[in-house]
Amino acid sequence: MPDKESEKGREPTGIVLTPEQKRRRRSRSVAIALVLGGLCLLFYIVTIVKLGPNVLNRPL
Amino acid sequence: MSDVASREYELTGAETGAAEAVSFASVSDYIALLKPRVMSLVVFTALVGIVRAPADVHPVIAFTALLCIAIGAGASGALNMWWDADIDALMTRTRARPVPAGRVTPREALAFGMTLSVGSVIVLGLLVNVLAAALLAFTIFFYAVVYTMWLKRSTPQNIVIGGAAGAFPPMVGWAAASGGIGLESVLLFLIIFFWTPPHFWALALYKSGDYARAGVPMLPVVAGASETRRQILLYTLILVPLAISPFALGMAGLAYGTVSILSGSIMLALAVQVYRRREGAMADAAAKRLFAFSILYLFLLFAVLLIETVQSPTWLGL
């Protein structure tokens, strides 16, 4: 297994993203997270609205 | 290569092997794929459909319906941009769109459009009702497949028939609120349906060079400007009385009657101007005026319907 010191000096291989590309990827990830969070909230609220007072009415 | 040009090349990535592996798009590119300006008109007309429907709908359900309709409309816009990237690249009006500009790959646009289409229909069906979901699915199919893939490149009647896709949202909103389809929702559909040809042909009159270059058989390209002016006038003659009909049939109040008659008269006068001024800068100016006013006209009609409804004692529960 190569040690970390020898890895440091080596040129990176494969696709190397520019800082701008990394920034864009990060902003896309944040947007996806916000959309998923919003969807969870929407499903939760609609469930409460549809069930109404029955949301607490369940046999123990 | 300058720094800016070099960075643009890197970000475009169209000619690199990395283009398939890494997305170069920003969030705003994905938002642009949704055609936000079209989406805003869809949301507005769908809201009028929801509010005008004779049913009590919970605000959260109404919001959910509106969100799904907006996302569905945006998804069909993304599918349109995926399919039309080749001709969009040839037209000045559309060549800066994310796909022809190389910021979003066609595969990304397709995946984005399909995911949102399926998602919006399923969520609308599960959380609101199945009829509204079926109508939304049909609207997306009509815009993306019937209009974009079939009619747009094959007939000068493309925007006449394809206009139905833009006319469905108030009907979807009505169905979401009431679970049915009423006569008034059909009237709202017809108003947008007959509004679309004069609106788009006015634009096509002064952008016909663009459409000709892209090989899109818009009416001015195929039948000539003269025939287009005649058709604009004919469709406006149908549209104006149709827009007044909700008042004439007792479905809308005096405010709507007044606005629809006044704004309809202006719309007709502008269509007559387009018909009479056939050459030079005056002709282009007349077409631009009609195009701009047609947007205001549709907005006014639906805004007054909305205001009349939300101000009525019945709607307020008084």
Which whole number is the average pLDDT over B183-190? 94
pLDDT at A6: 55
Q: What integer pLDDT is reported at residue A2 of this predicted model?
A: 53
Residue ranges of domains in chain B: 27-180, 182-318
What average pLDDT score do residues B39-56 get? 93
Residue B298, pLDDT above cutoff 80: yes
Strand blocks (E) in B214-269: none
Is the per-residue pLDDT at B122 higher than 70?
Answer: yes
Q: What is the pLDDT of residue B245?
A: 95
Q: Coil, strand or helix: which one is A1?
A: coil
Give the pLDDT confidence score for residue B1 in this predicted structure: 37
- Residue B120, chain A, CB below 8 Å: the answer is no
Question: What are the distances in angstroms from CA B317 to CA B178, B308, B309, B313?
Answer: 17, 14, 12, 6
pLDDT at A26: 93
Using CA coordinates, name the residue in chain B closest to A22: B24
Average pLDDT over residues B255-271: 97
What stretch of H or E contains A42?
helix A19-51
Which one of B8, B16, B22 makes the best mutation probe of the A interface by having the most chain A beta carbons within 10 Å? B22
CB B308 within 8 A of CB B255: yes
Q: What is the mean pLDDT of residues B179-196?
A: 94
Contact B44, B69 (CB under 8 A): no
∠ CA A27-A30-A33, nearest 5°, is 150
Around B310, how many Cα atoms within 13 Å sit in the side-chain half-sphere? 11
Pair B232, B275: CB distance under 8 Å: yes
What span, in angstroms and rounded, lies between the C-alpha atoms of B134 and B238?
Answer: 29
What is B27-180's CATH number?
1.10.357.140
Rounded to the nearest angstrom, the minimum Cα separation between A48 and chain B is: 10
Q: How many angstroms separate the CA atoms of B191 and B186, rounded?
A: 9
Chain-chain contact of A49 with B61 (C-beta, under 8 angstroms): yes
B236 confidence band (pLDDT: 50, 70, 90): very high
Q: Is the pLDDT of residue B189 over 70?
A: yes
The mean predicted confidence, pLDDT, of chain B is 90
**Per the structure block, which two tokens stand in for B256?**
């709507």
Per residue in B124-159, pLDDT (tens digit) is 999 999 999 999 999 999 999 999 999 999 999 998
pLDDT at position B279, please? 80
pLDDT-based confidence at residue B21 (cuts at 50, 70, 90) = low
* The dihedral formed by the CA atoms of B250, B256, B258 and B261, expressed in degrees to the nearest 10: -90
Residue B315 pLDDT: 66
By Cβ distance, the residue of A15, A20, A45 closest to B60 is: A45
Instruction: Report the distance separating Cα B65 and Cα B40, nearest Å.
Output: 15
pLDDT tens digit at each of 60 positions of chain A: 455 555 556 666 777 888 888 899 999 999 999 999 999 999 999 998 988 777 777 776
Q: Quick check: A21 and B22 CB within 8 A?
A: yes
Locus of tokens 């006209």? B297
Please state, in angstroms and rounded to a whole number, the distance separating the CA atoms of residues B201 and B194. Answer: 12
Please count the other Cβ atoms lying within 10 Å of the Cβ belonging to residue B101. Answer: 18
**Mean pLDDT computed over B225-247:** 96
Q: What is the pLDDT of residue B55?
A: 87
Q: Mean pLDDT throughout B34-47?
A: 94
Distance between CA atoms of B143 and B41, rounded to whole angstroms?
15
